[in-house]
């Protein structure tokens, strides 16, 4: 990992263009960030990534990027990372579907809200051209009488229903963005749904679900659904927000709504491994998850929780997204969740995370397929 060298973009009069200033990407070790960095490098941008000390660098290993280390909760470190950058993609967030204890909740608040506040303040001081902040669909409001009705950007988060600390933190992140816009910073929010696709190094919650399914570790499921977005689509969405989005606005991006049984059927078709056919009643799964989560949060806080009460409540709503604004204003055109699952499967298979004897080899190598050529119109 080193500073990108030898790349110069000159304007017609010979002066350096805006592409000479590095683009800062936070959260580059995560699923979205790893894919976004690769796309920006492919487009010829010099990239700087901000990583926390101790972060697994696998997602950026071998890439021509400048790595700086620091924590968004540390303002001087954030200011140093932002210095000299022309544009910023803020993908970093502490994602969690558990309630947790007071210490856990404070960490979410400080990482997501205070971290964003620091980044936007540093960006304003450094006269950054634009910041695209990754938002969450779970922070978008919905029709209380019909939760599965499509939600759009005008619908406000309902604060009087039990929600996850992560959801509440992302609402406050959007509030910080609006405050920054009032103070003169150019900010656009790219609202993200559940991501699936390749370059999932950690892996993500959905990536782990795919691996658990194929390896025979997923015993049952519940009736529910959510909006899923292909990794390539959400990367494209962030670029559209950077180039075409309106200052102070947010845009919702998804590829397709799927019920869980439809998603598991896709897993079976692509992997060749039959999954669980035991669908448990949601109230039963919720009750079990409540007890398990409370126990683990108190006595084993370091244990990773899979199907949490917050995730179950979210899935039961079967929330749909209205993409009208992103389609009409930005020209957003989603691709295919099936292709995204194929890419995710090929990636995890290549990394040895899938080891079921019946799992078939991917039909195409990692990163191949029609989605590679997918580009929406950008200026």
Instruction: Supply the pLDDT for residue 246.
Output: 99
Instruction: Supply the pLDDT for residue 15.
Output: 38
Tell me if the bond preceding 203 is cis, omega within 30° of 0: yes
3-class SS of residue 312: helix
What are the backbone angles phi and psi of residue 368, rounded to the nearest 5°? -95, 175
Q: How many CB atoms lie within 10 A of CB 210?
A: 27
In order, the DSSP letters of 220-238 are: -B-S-EEEEEEHHHHHHHH
What are the backbone angles phi and psi of residue 302, rounded to the nearest 5°? -85, -10
Place 373 in a pLDDT band, splitting at 50, 70 and 90: very low
Task: Indicate whether 6 pLDDT > 50.
Answer: no
Instruction: Supply the pLDDT for residue 100.
Output: 86
Instruction: Supply the pLDDT for residue 367.
Output: 52
Distance CA 47, CA 370 (A): 26
Distance CA 263, CA 338 (A): 9
What are the backbone angles phi and psi of residue 261, rounded to the nearest 5°? -65, -30
Instruction: Supply the pLDDT for residue 305.
Output: 79
Average pLDDT over residues 11-32: 75
3-class SS of residue 7: coil
Query: What's the CATH number of domain 18-277+304-370, 3.20.20.80, 3.40.50.720, 3.40.50.12780, 3.30.365.10?
Result: 3.40.50.720
Partner residues linked to 68 by β-bridges? 50
Task: Indicate whether 288 pLDDT > 70.
Answer: yes
Q: How far apart are the first and last CA of the chain?
A: 30
If we measure between CA atoms, which residue out of 43, 62, 88, 70 comes closest to residue 2? 62
Spell out the domain ranges in the chain. Answer: 18-277+304-370
Q: Which two tokens stand for residue 162?
A: 């039990």
Place 303 in a pLDDT band, splitting at 50, 70 and 90: confident
The better pLDDT of the pair 19, 325 is held by: 325
- Residues with Cβ within 8 Å of residue 175, at least 6 apart in sequence: none
- In eight-state DSSP terms, residue 87 is E
- Burial label, 111 (beta-carbon count in 10 A; 0-12, 13-18, 19+): buried
Q: Which two tokens stand for residue 166?
A: 């992560």
Instruction: Supply the pLDDT for residue 4.
Output: 31
Instruction: Supply the pLDDT for residue 298.
Output: 82
């Amino acid at each position: 990992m080193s500073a990108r060298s030898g790349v110069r973009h000159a304007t017609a009069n010979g002066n350096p263009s805006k592409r000479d200033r590095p683009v800062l990407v936070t959260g580059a070790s995560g699923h979205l960030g790893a894919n976004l960095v690769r796309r920006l490098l492919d487009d010829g941008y010099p990239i700087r990534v901000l990583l926390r000390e101790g972060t697994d660098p696998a997602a950026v290993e071998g890439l021509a990027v400048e790595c700086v280390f620091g924590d968004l909760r540390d303002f001087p470190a954030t200011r140093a990372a932002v210095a000299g950058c022309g544009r910023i993609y803020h993908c970093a967030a502490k994602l969690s579907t558990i309630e947790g204890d007071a210490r856990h909740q404070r960490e979410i608040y400080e990482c997501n809200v205070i971290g964003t506040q620091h980044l936007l303040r540093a960006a304003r001081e450094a006269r950054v051209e634009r910041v695209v902040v990754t938002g969450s669909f779970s922070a978008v409001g919905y029709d209380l009488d019909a939760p599965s009705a499509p939600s759009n950007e005008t619908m406000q988060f309902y604060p009087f229903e039990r929600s996850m600390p992560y959801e509440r933190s992302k609402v406050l992140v959007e509030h910080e963005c609006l405050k920054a816009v009032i103070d003169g910073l150019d900010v656009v929010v790219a609202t993200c749904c559940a991501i699936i696709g390749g370059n999932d190094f950690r892996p993500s919650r959905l990536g782990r679900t795919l691996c658990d399914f194929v390896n025979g570790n997923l015993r049952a499921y519940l009736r529910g659904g959510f909006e899923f977005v292909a990794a390539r689509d959400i990367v494209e969405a962030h670029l559209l927000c950077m180039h075409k989005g309106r200052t102070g606005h947010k845009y919702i991006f998804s590829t397709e709504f799927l019920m869980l049984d439809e998603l598991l059927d896709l897993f079976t078709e692509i992997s060749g491994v039959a999954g669980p056919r035991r669908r448990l009643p949601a109230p039963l799964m919720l009750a079990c998850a409540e007890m398990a989560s409370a126990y683990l949060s108190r006595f084993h806080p370091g244990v990773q929780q899979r199907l949490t009460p917050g995730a179950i409540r979210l899935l039961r709503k079967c929330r749909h997204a209205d993409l009208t604004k992103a389609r009409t204003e930005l020209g957003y055109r989603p691709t295919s969740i099936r292709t995204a699952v194929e890419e995710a499967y090929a990636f995890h298979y290549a990394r040895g995370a899938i080891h079921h004897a019946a799992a078939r080899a991917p039909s195409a190598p990692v990163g191949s397929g029609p989605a590679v050529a997918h580009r929406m119109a950008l200026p």
